Amino acid sequence: MPGTEKQGEHAHIRCRTIIEVLGKPKEYVENAIKEYIGHIKEDAELVVLNDDYSETKEQGKLWSKFVELDLVVKGTKKLISFCFEYMPSSMEVVKPEHLIMTNPELSNFLNDLQARLHNVDMVVKKLKSENDFLKVNMNTIINNAIIIALRFGSLNFEQLSKITGVHEKELQIFADSLLKENKIKKENEIYSLA
């Protein structure tokens, strides 16, 4: 209906959204979500009509709490910015039923989306690189710990685990690798240098 459509940039958009915080300890989660919503309420382009907090629930070793917000956002640009900035779990546009986005608005949104995706991709690649570096160094450290421990004498697997500080299940992988490389040997469940 042409009469009910609004320009996206100038429309007041009513939404229901859910924002969740996951972490530990419980008190941190409860304080963090209230602080997070406090920032939203301070934003002049957002009007929070209602906030409905859940109970804090334990999820494994972490705690979870969410809040459902009924809010009014001033324009599509701010709505998109809100989604990027606050990362809601879900977003439902309630009103208006129809929005018009201009070509420049859509282009700006798509460019913003691409820039943020490239930034996330860069962060992920950097973290993967750092993680790979740490894995290689951790493997070297554990292999060296096994070899150094065996320089002082032959040990059974339980002793080797206690000296290196690595649980037997994880240590087995390293011991098997060193056995294949002929850096250590195993006779009658006793490990020694090769």
Residue pointed to by tokens 């963090």: 32
- pLDDT score, position 81: 84
Nearest to 18 by CA among 85, 75, 65: 65
Distance, in Å, from the CA atom of 93 to the CA atom of 76, rounded to the nearest integer, reads: 11
Beta bridge partners of 6: 99
194 residues of the chain, pLDDT tens digit each: 444 445 555 678 899 999 999 888 989 999 999 998 999 899 888 899 999 999 999 988 889 999 999 999 988 888 888 888 888 988 899 888 887 777 887 788 788 888 888 888 899 999 999 999 999 999 999 999 999 999 988 989 899 989 898 888 889 999 999 999 999 999 988 888 88
- Structural domains in the chain, sorted by start: 2-118 (3.30.70), 132-193 (1.10.10.10)
Checking 57-60 for CB contacts under 8 A at 24+ apart, the result is: 58/26, 59/22
- pLDDT score, position 7: 55
Amino acid letter for position 115 = A
Distance, in Å, from the CA atom of 114 to the CA atom of 121, rounded to the nearest integer, reads: 10
- pLDDT score, position 44: 87
Tokens linked to 4: 């009910």
- pLDDT score, position 16: 94
Phi-psi region of 90 (alpha: psi -120 to 50; beta: other; left: phi over 0): beta
pTM assigned to the model: 0.59
Amino acid letter for position 95 = K
Phi-psi region of 2 (alpha: psi -120 to 50; beta: other; left: phi over 0): alpha
- pLDDT score, position 114: 86
- pLDDT score, position 77: 81
Burial label for 19, CB within 10 Å (0-12, 13-18, 19+), is buried
Tokens linked to 177: 């690798």
Apex 80 CA angle, 22 and 24, nearest 5: 10
